[in-house]
A and B are shown apart, each in its own frame.
Chain A
Amino acid sequence: MSDQKTIKARSPFAEAFEMFRRNHAAVAGLIVLLLIVGVAIFGPLVYPGNPFDMVWAPFTPPGQDGYLLGTDYLGRDILSLLIHGAKVSLTVGLAAAFVTVTIGITVGALAGFYRGWVEEVLMRFTEFFQVLPTLLFSMVIVALFGASLTMITIAIGLVSWPAVARITRAEFLRIRELEYVTAARAGGVRNGGLIFRVILPNALPPIIVQAALMVGSAILFEAGLSFLGLTDPNVASWGQIIGSNREYILDASYTVTVPGVAIFVTVLAISLVGDGLNDALNPKLRQR
């Protein structure tokens, strides 16, 4: 064999990271996202106080009397609400995405790996969830089981998993026919090992992208539910700020605009990161 110089071992994920780093929009999105996460974690320490305290006259415009973003209809500090809301909104987004991915991967992997009647049953089940009107269904769940943050997260997860299940199944259908899976079976790997250690790691890229985008849409979904009043009134999420001020949208538009911009920027940042991941993880887009 030709004597090779010591080549560095480069895993597919290391190469993907290299690709991601070259995508300026995605890197910008990631920086913004990290800033928001930083605010969510450290903000309450830097800017303490209960956001629900009525601290000043209602409808104080931004910048006046030392309130950078003004106060809402009850005289609460919007900046404080925003900082505390960041944690809530991001947590809901991440947790809902986690629920989505867990259900989606389980259903999709089983359907795609075992085929036959397992697939028939699971995919009909998936389609059932897919044709439900998502907003209505989640409202029913929240109305029935109470408007706690946990319930809202579960409701969002329950209506969103079919997309992940379909992607996972499609990837499993493709990968299970590849020769390295047959080779692993010939090498005595059990079904569980085939699913989780051989096929799943190779199926992950599109699922990761979908999960990243899922975080963004879960934040939007929670905002939508809050706007309709289906929220935990004791927790300050961004959607809840918009929802509670919605009657004053014409008179004091900043009370709605400020949390709206926060949601917009966050979801945009997440989408940019998701797109960057998609480009980086999709080998077809990789040049060489």
Chain B
Amino acid sequence: MTSPLLSVENLRIELAAREWMVPVVDDLSIYLNAGETLSIVGESGSGKSMTALAVMGLLPSIGRIAQGRILFEGRDMTHMDDASLRAIRGNQISMIFQEPMTSLNPVYTVGEQIAEVLRLHKGLSNQDAWSRAIDLLDAVRIPDVRRRAKAYPHEMSGGQRQRVMIAMALACRPKILIADEPTTALDVTVQAEIFELMRELARETRTATILITHDMGVVAEMANRVVVMYRGEKVEDGEAEAVIQRPQHPYTQTLIASVPHLTTEAAPTVATQAPNTEKPLLSVRDLTVQFPVKKRFGKREMFTAVNGISFDVMRGKTLAIVGESGSGKTTAALAVARLVDAQAGQVTLDGTDMLGLEGEDLRRARAKVQVIFQDPYSSLNPRLRAGDIVREPLDNLGTLPASERDDRIAELFDKVGLHRDQMRLFPHQFSGGQRQRISIARALSTNPSLIICDEAVSALDVVIQAQILDLLQDLQRDLNLTYLFISHDLGVVQQVCDEIAVMYMGDVVEFGDRQTIFSNPSQAYTRNLLAAVPTIDRARNDSPATP
């Protein structure tokens, strides 16, 4: 066997934190052979992205390689001068990033940006570079390529931008492509398309790929081999299939357990009761939400985000609204909570006509609907202590006398699994999962009849995600809560919901109980959504490119 294309030996990366250096990657050894796909898996902070940046020679200024070697074709990159490093970077090893929105330059057309890379690295003439750029965009399946090459990044969708990034990364026919969570910012159906593209390209060009991800389902679908990282160290590696079938390290086992299995078993939550005998807690009829987009010749044009949708939610149940970004699912939910204005329709919550409320009546009615938001970093006021964040609704809406509020807050902290001492701390002193627990405590504080979970676990690592989902389900059982659960992730939805509404372009295209939707979806769009979810079970039918 020949020596590997890339090998990392005993790598130790340290970052400066205040006065001392903190290791973020320690004693890491990996190798990559030509044409294969290696996946590095781990949660945020596990050091997987730092490893990728180190291989690219792009460590942030506060980081350094303290130990170890990175050998590319037998040459040690850690001791290379800038000029030789530049010759490798982008040329022999290239990278695609997580966020396709910010990694393209907004003032040049996508075609120009790819041609620029070719001119720089390959010394092609303007014309040759342009025609090669067209070929590349065609290779990543950009439709109507001659016209689209002249488009600016903001004129393309997220998926198309990521395709452009891939085209740019492949422009110089690199030997290694590093993809750092390339689909995290994309919808599942788009993710499936991008992965399909990457598999095909790997087969055609025999480019070796390092795929960084936190999702074992992705590993199962894409990788030949896998390295599992935990807190800066490699805890397990091997053939992807072997690791998934027989994970040795407990952390790997947790990761695999948290991958959704799209099964059709009965809901583990609340036992099914006789349907439709009681009145629904929330009833939405013909809800329409429009936004003004722009004024043209004095005329105001309206964009319809939610197009006359109807649904019911029974008390103690969970309705999931599923759809891609832009489908109107969040807007619909926020309109129910009167946090976005609806143009038409009727929303009845617990006997109250929500859309008819104004002023002080509306403010008081807010106690009935609370929201758990997506982003644990922007949903908590950074100037308030955790206890005061939970207190805010109590002070404004609660019926509790002031003297009992402290006890109530402490009790809520217990309920969501936080320590009472943590009430004094500020949001930035908590981890993402803990912050989401604070959000949940805040939402529970007014004893609402309905809780809207707006992508409440989407921003969390899989393991933390599973913990928060468990917490939400425990709370639902104990307190008979009703959830309106907004998500793009069918795997998550399947774990928590009783019924599902699938939204597409402002309409509910399919509505049904969980079992029906998952086992027997009637709409093509729902089937696409289901097929796009990366799972371990199905993965082997569609195996990755063989090296």
A171-210, CB < 8 A from B:
178-180, 182-190, 193, 198, 201-202
CB of A23 to closest CB in B, whole Å: 15
Interface contact B363-A190, CB-CB below 8 Å:
yes
Q: Which of B369, B385, B419, B442 contacts A3 (CB 8 A)?
A: B419
Distance in angstroms between the alpha carbons of A4 and B422 in the assembled complex: 9
Which of B16, B397, B426 is the most central at the interface, judged by chain A CB atoms within 10 Å of its CB? B426
Interface contact A4-B419, CB-CB below 8 Å:
yes
Q: Given A7-B429, A183-B373, A187-B442, A202 and B383 touching (CB < 8 A)?
A: yes
CB of B337 to closest CB in A, whole Å: 6
Q: Given A187-B442, A201-B383, A7 and B425 touching (CB < 8 A)?
A: yes
- Given the complex, which residues of A lie within 8 Å of B385, measured CB to CB? 9
- Given the complex, which residues of A lie within 8 Å of B425, measured CB to CB? 7, 9
> B326 on the interface (CB 8 Å rule)?
no
Q: Given A3-B419, A183-B379, A187-B366, A9 and B339 touching (CB < 8 A)?
A: no
Interface contact A202-B382, CB-CB below 8 Å:
yes
Distance in angstroms between the alpha carbons of A1 and B371 in the assembled complex: 23
Q: Which of A10, A188, A190, A288 contacts B426 (CB 8 A)?
A: A10
Interface size on A, residues (CB 8 A): 27
In the complex formed, the residue of A with least CB distance to B423 is A9
> B540 on the interface (CB 8 Å rule)?
no
- Given the complex, which residues of B lie within 8 Å of A182, measured CB to CB? 334, 339, 371, 373
Per-residue contact bits, chain B 414-437, to A (CB 8 Å; 1 contact, 0 not): 000111011011101100001000
Distance in angstroms between the alpha carbons of A287 and B378 in the assembled complex: 19
Q: Given A4-B422, A180-B380, A187-B393, A12 and B373 touching (CB < 8 A)?
A: no
Q: Given A9-B385, A183-B371, A189 and B396 touching (CB < 8 A)?
A: yes
Q: Given A183-B442, A288-B17, A198 and B428 touching (CB < 8 A)?
A: no
Which of B370, B425, B434 is the most central at the interface, judged by chain A CB atoms within 10 Å of its CB? B425
Q: Which of A12, A186, A189, A193 contacts B382 (CB 8 A)?
A: A12
> B135 on the interface (CB 8 Å rule)?
no
Distance in angstroms between the alpha carbons of A179 and B427 in the assembled complex: 14
- Given the complex, which residues of A lie within 8 Å of B62, measured CB to CB? 287
In the complex formed, the residue of B with least CB distance to A182 is B339
In the complex formed, the residue of A with least CB distance to B365 is A188
- Given the complex, which residues of A lie within 8 Å of B366, measured CB to CB? 185-188
A236-272, CB < 8 A from B:
none
Interface contact B374-A179, CB-CB below 8 Å:
yes
B477-529, CB < 8 A from A:
none
In the complex formed, the residue of A with least CB distance to B367 is A188
Interface contact B417-A1, CB-CB below 8 Å:
yes
Interface contact B426-A202, CB-CB below 8 Å:
no
Q: Given A179-B375, A179-B379, A202-B383, A188 and B364 touching (CB < 8 A)?
A: yes
- Given the complex, which residues of B lie within 8 Å of A287, measured CB to CB? 16-17, 62
CB of B26 to closest CB in A, whole Å: 20
Distance in angstroms between the alpha carbons of A193 and B393 in the assembled complex: 12
Interface contact B370-A186, CB-CB below 8 Å:
yes
- Given the complex, which residues of A lie within 8 Å of B411, measured CB to CB? none
Q: Which of A179, A180, A188 contacts B393 (CB 8 A)?
A: A188
Interface contact A180-B381, CB-CB below 8 Å:
yes
> B392 on the interface (CB 8 Å rule)?
yes
In the complex formed, the residue of A with least CB distance to B369 is A186
Interface contact A188-B397, CB-CB below 8 Å:
yes
Q: Which of B334, B421, B434 contacts A6 (CB 8 A)?
A: B421
B353-371, CB < 8 A from A:
363-364, 366-367, 369-371
Interface contact B418-A184, CB-CB below 8 Å:
no
Distance in angstroms between the alpha carbons of A179 and B389 in the assembled complex: 13
In the complex formed, the residue of B with least CB distance to A200 is B383
- Given the complex, which residues of B lie within 8 Å of A183, measured CB to CB? 371, 373, 379-380, 439, 442
Interface contact A187-B381, CB-CB below 8 Å:
no
Distance in angstroms between the alpha carbons of A10 and B422 in the assembled complex: 12
- Given the complex, which residues of A lie within 8 Å of B421, measured CB to CB? 4, 6
Distance in angstroms between the alpha carbons of A287 and B366 in the assembled complex: 39
Distance in angstroms between the alpha carbons of A10 and B393 in the assembled complex: 23
Distance in angstroms between the alpha carbons of A1 and B419 in the assembled complex: 8
Interface contact A188-B428, CB-CB below 8 Å:
no
> A11 on the interface (CB 8 Å rule)?
yes
Q: Given A1-B418, A188-B363, A12 and B371 touching (CB < 8 A)?
A: no
Interface contact B426-A12, CB-CB below 8 Å:
yes
Distance in angstroms between the alpha carbons of A135 and B396 in the assembled complex: 48
In the complex formed, the residue of A with least CB distance to B62 is A287
Interface contact B379-A180, CB-CB below 8 Å:
yes
- Given the complex, which residues of A lie within 8 Å of B439, measured CB to CB? 183
Interface contact B417-A9, CB-CB below 8 Å:
no
In the complex formed, the residue of A with least CB distance to B380 is A180
Q: List 7 A-B contacts (CB under 8 A).
A: A9-B424, A187-B397, A188-B364, A188-B367, A188-B446, A198-B381, A287-B17
Known: A187-B366, A198-B381, A287-B17; 19 extra A-B contacts, CB below 8 A, are: A1-B419, A3-B419, A11-B383, A11-B426, A179-B373, A180-B378, A180-B379, A180-B382, A183-B379, A184-B381, A186-B369, A186-B371, A186-B393, A187-B442, A187-B446, A188-B366, A190-B396, A193-B396, A288-B17
Q: Which 5 A-B pairs have the closest CB atoms?
A: A187-B393, A188-B396, A188-B397, A179-B379, A179-B373
